[in-house]
Structure 1
Amino acid sequence: MDTWKILVIGASGYIGGSVLTALMKSSHPLLRECEFTALVRHEPHADALRHKGINVLMFSGLDDLDIVREVAARHDIVINTASTFHTPVAKSIIDGLGDRKTAAEKQTHLIQTSGTGSLADRPVSKRFVETKVFSDKDNIYDYEKYRESIEPFPQRTTDVTVIEHGESTGVKTYIVMSPTIYGLGSGVINQKSMQIEALIRAARDDKYVSVVGSGESEWSHVHIEDLGLLYELLVTRILGGLDLPSNKHGIYFSETGYETWRAVSEHIARTGKELGILPSQEIRQITLEEGSVKLIQSMGPDIIELGWASRSRTKADRSREIGWKPTKSFGDFLDSFTTLWAEIMKE
């Protein structure tokens, strides 16, 4: 049988680097026989990946759509962990996989990274309130179409496009829709996530911890290592020819617990005080506009509300049904705050 060719886009990032590490270190015999390639845009990142024995191809960035399509057409599986907001690149990947499917007469597959921010509500602005706990066995595609009809959101737009364009081209697609991701990554470039880290960096600078709005809304969470296990499981099931729901039925959640945003800020305040970094466990409520300055300056109030104030509760029922077995506990979640404080203080 021909060697399976797997392309990872976003291998220098937090998720992509950790997923690639999980696949490369896996003891699964089918993965041992695969050829892995990373598509990157920065030469220093390429050198670091080559040093780990990974094939590297260069491109100018996600807007280099012709190259993306051309490279995707040389692979059987593409794992896209780059920007979840970039709909055109996801479409170009599928076009390339469709080209390969036609030329090689072989089924091709896209594993697309997304986030549960696509399901999140807007409790601060009151533009949309959601109380549901979603299962990945629900009809998430129809729900995303409904939410898009109310308010287009780039990540959700990409999800819908991946599903629909995959079906129209005959490419099997799988969307890994993750909640808050915690823990240090295992990639060679970026080992830190975004949501909790942004709150800690702001606390480091302000000497108090912020919470956006009331902080009463809940988000699910998952450790980056458990997330890597889910990607590994999806790939090995594809390689083994095992049943794996795809396209409209191919949305997979990853979660091992949940917490309110106020509780997250309390964990940051407690560990920051214990480490002697913060003078007290003070928590201050901030507005969406203040959050867009303190947390991620390139994002406006709309994204701050979705990422740091909204509700997004999920259950990974389908993922567990196909064999996902996460290993991290709530204790690991709590321990991660001390580790993350220490890492951020090194910056």
Structure 2
Amino acid sequence: MASTTGKNVFLIGPGFIGREVLDLLLAEGYTVTTLTRRENYATELQQSGAKTVLGSLDDSDIITKQTIDSDIVIHTATADHLASVEAVIAGIGQRASQDKHTLFIHTSGTSLLSDDAKGNYPSDKIFHDDKPEEIDALPDSASHRLIDLAIVRARQKIGTKAKLVIMIPPLIYGVNPQYQRLSIQLPTLTRFAIKHGYAGHVGKGESQWSTIHVKDLARGYVTLLHWLETTDASKVLENPYFFCENGYEFIWKDAVAVLGKVLYDAGKIKSHEPKTIPESDYDELFGKYTAWVVGSNSRSRANRLRQLGWEPKEKHLMESLAQDETPLIMKEESGFSGYGGVAASGSG
């Protein structure tokens, strides 16, 4: 029989992805404690029904302590913060020593699969999550891989005393009207376009990615959680990886053309014709990772979630980009100076 856990969840990162997951968990009766840096946001989260603990990803002691007190941990803050993941693993290890089982879902991303196309060509390489050997064959230098490997090694060490898995979404898009949060890649290209007066892409813009709407992704986490709750730990150990894509892939230059048309029609840029962004401007995008984050190929198939009954329901990328993201970005008043967070890692 599968070991059971309670319904006490520690959610790290109640932001773009995590807030959607939080709502679904609360609706299903889970007790959720979230890690947040800001008191005013903590108040908002408490009003939604969540508990909060103040702290950042660098507060390892807080993360470890909260993990020890939680049956389930879901990390949606970033794919590239090793210390916070190590703090979770430390807490899981302490729980295991007390014969307490833990479920842990970490968020990676399919920049992990990115090639060196630099926008110049499409690829026929597709990764499948029911073929973990394809992912394990990736170099340790691949984006997000260092953090993912920490989890893979922890799985091997802890064995059946916990269930640790990695959610690997592709390009995430979509807007919840209630929260009006945005993803990273295409919104950053949109803000760049408004500042520079043209819609731009890396290289020829020919490479392609898989996609997922944030609401479909959130449902994917809950589907995965239910599977972990009802599946033997020995079975979970067979494969740590889960993709989450909606079956729709896009070419970068096509997406740039859509956002460019919306901006042009609104008088925000001078021409609707997309063009190549010079490498000298990459620091206003994702720095040295720009070619991988918005110019690579990254194609994946979420076979495992589909086998569990999950299916995408939301609008596709181009419709969402034209109707939701781009109009919202045009209302922003703050100046743009590049994406300030960490969008990728590794050495390529």
Scaled by the length of structure 2, what TM-score is found? 0.86
Most deviating of 1-10 and 113-122: 1-10
Query: 1:177-224: per-residue Cα shift (whole Å, max 9, x none)?
Result: 011101014775x61101010011111222210111111111000101
Please tell me whether residue 160 in structure 1 is matched to residue 149 in structure 2.
yes
Among 337, 341, 345, the residue aligned to 2:322: 337
Do 1:112 and 1:174's aligned partners in 2 also have CA atoms closer than 8 Å?
yes
Q: Does 1:199 align with 2:189?
A: yes
Task: Give the match's secondary structure for 1:336.
Answer: helix
User: 2:66 maps to what in 1?
Assistant: 71
Residue 255 of structure 2: which of 260, 264, 269 is its match?
Answer: 264
Q: Distance in 2 between matches of 1:186 and 1:145?
A: 40
Query: Gapped runs of 5+ residues in structure 2?
Result: 333-348
Q: Deviations over 1:123-156 (max 9, x none)?
A: 2399xx964111111125x6345411xxx24511
In structure 1, the residue matched to 2:129 is 136
Q: Which residue of 2 aligns with 1:99?
A: 94
Give the letter aligned to residue 264 of structure 1.
A
Aligned twin of 2:341: none
Kept in 2: contact 1:144–1:160 (CA 8 A): no
Q: Does 1:40 align with 2:40?
A: no
Matched, 1:311 2:301: no
Q: Check 1:199–1:226 CA distance in 2 against 1; reply closer, same or farther (3 A cut).
A: same
RMSD: 2.4
Aligned to 1:122: 116
Shift, 1:172, TM fit: 1.3
Map residues 165-180 of structure 1 onto 2, 5 A cutoff: 165-170=154-159, 171-180=162-171
Tell me, yes or no, if the aligned pair for 1:21 and 1:186 is still in contact at 8 Å: no
**Distance across 1 between alignment mates of 2:5 and 2:320:** 44
Change over 3 Å in CA distance of 1:134–1:230 after alignment to 2: same
CA distance in 2, matches of 1:117, 1:89: 20
Partner of 1:226: 216
TM-score, normalised with respect to structure 1: 0.86
| Pairwise CA distance, 1:69 | 1.0
Aligned equivalents of 1:248, 1:93: Cα separation in 2: 21
Per-residue deviation at 1:57? 1.0
Aligned residue number for residue 47 of structure 2: 51
Q: What percentage of residue pairs aligned between the two structures are identical?
A: 29
For the residues of structure 2 that align with 1:93 and 1:205, how far apart are their CA atoms?
40
Note the C-alpha offset of 1:323. Answer: 1.5
Q: Which moved more, 1:89-98 or 1:275-284?
A: 275-284
- Alpha-carbon contact 1:223-1:333 (below 8 Å) kept: no
Residue 7 of structure 1 corresponds to 10
Shift in CA distance, 272/248, structure 1 to aligned 2, threshold 3 Å: farther
Q: Which amino acid aligns with 2:255?
A: V
Q: Does the CA contact (< 8 Å) of 2:21 and 2:218 recur in 1? A: yes
- Mapped to 2, the partners of 1:194 and 1:125 lie a distance apart of 18
